[in-house]
Chain A
């Protein structure tokens, strides 16, 4: 079958989507965990450990996708212009900063400085992921500039949601100890719970705004019909299950401390899943190519009046 109009790319599959999902959630979690640590003065090593594991998992998934996996060191060769190189470089730097922060401990100034550095590197990693897609000029749904704030916002929303879910869950398991002490709103050692809940609410709202802006901008500029349809198909789930439900559940957790754990868990999980859904669809189902077009038709088809032929576009 000859390809003329846009076709769905098959070069990056679920493994690549998995990198954006795991890496985005992991870097968002690292940033939120760092903000919580600075706010509460009580760093949660488990949150950082989960964040690091997620980022490593994402890169492992990419490793499984590349055609020549044993040449993986070549990925570091082009930091001048390649956001993939930058992403790959930032990951080990983040892990190193995190390890150094853990080694220094929370009682030292250098430990806090290294934690701040790790959070900054996590943000840079998240930003690089968004720019990776933005630089793919062959995919109109990715090169749209509004995708960058969407990926940043959902990274924060997923990170905050994951943080709440993790600690709500740990509080519900009586035998967990060590880093998993305390529930999100139970007072005691987890003084940053309401702060993180506030962050989550802001990030969920920001994501909804960024999602609408992205879809609006894409439709305004023109995009392959298949891409617009794929995004439209998840609009209601994103609105109801990814924005309204987690927003009210987390807000309710703040209002009803007795049920805070369960409400925060449910809200956090929904906030995370919505972000994963958005990324999975953007990477695998809305990723239609540019296709081919003829800009001038006055001779080829006089009745077209000089309009361009752009099959498969809105």
Chain B
């Protein structure tokens, strides 16, 4: 069995937002929608204050609250753990946005572009009217994962089969792989380092792991 997860090394992340930009470019999300983003958090108290750069997005939870509340069954979870949205089923009620404790879901009613009125060439190419008025979120670049797997590539190892945020990371802070494979990159990282997940107490089983040393 395959279960895709993402690992973010907080000691490596420098907060450059390259993953954010890569995600936006690849998915053509409108202004204000960032399926992948990096929080710049300040922790501690003066004089011992530190900054922590924390990548966030859809956690592709084991028990996704967005899926349970969805009245239309548009939100589903695949066998490999990737949580998807069927844009043709979604009614845009926004309930899943409120059910997600990670602020990972968005809804745009109208087309919006980076520079006012018209789309740029890249925005025009990636514009998808099916995404208007419905919920959207990070897909773990499911199309790349599926196409790569079909071509015999290994997601998380081969860039062609990996999420673009992982490929773009300049510090090798983001990793993607199969947690059920004990030999995988992510299994090695998780077994060799201390890690946590965001809001674990809520019982959602998020599959974005944070390493801390």
Contact = CB atoms under 8 A, between A and B. Distances in A.
B71 A290 contact: no
Interface residues of A, number: 51
Contact of B107 (A67, A72, A289, A311): A67
Contact of B97 (A4, A11, A65, A292): A11
B69 A75 contact: no
Given A62-B93, A85-B71, A136-B99, A67 B196 contact: no
B199 A290 contact: yes
A88 B71 CA distance: 9
Contacts of A138: 65, 97-103
A75 B91 contact: yes
B147 interface: no
Contacts of A300: 10, 43-44, 50, 52, 212
Given A82-B71, A136-B95, 7 more contacts: A62-B93, A66-B94, A71-B90, A81-B68, A137-B204, A294-B43, A304-B43
A233 interface: no
Interface string A41-76: 000000000000000000000100111110110111
B103 A289 contact: yes
A100 interface: no
Contacts of B41: 4, 292, 294, 309, 311
| Among A67, A290, A296: residue with most chain B CB under 10 A | A67
B103 A301 contact: no
Interface string A272-314: 0000000000000001011111111101111110000101000
Nearest to B67: A81
Contacts of A137: 65, 99-101, 202, 204
A303 B44 contact: yes
A4 B11 CA distance: 19
> A-B pairs with the 3 shortest C-beta distances?
A67-B92, A301-B44, A67-B133
B181 interface: no
A293 B56 CA distance: 11
Contact of A82 (B10, B70, B109, B132): B70
A142 interface: yes
Contact of B48 (A62, A78, A296, A303): A303
A135 B91 CA distance: 18
Contacts of B25: none
Listed residue (A11, A76, A77, A303) with the most chain B CB atoms within 10 angstroms of its CB: A11
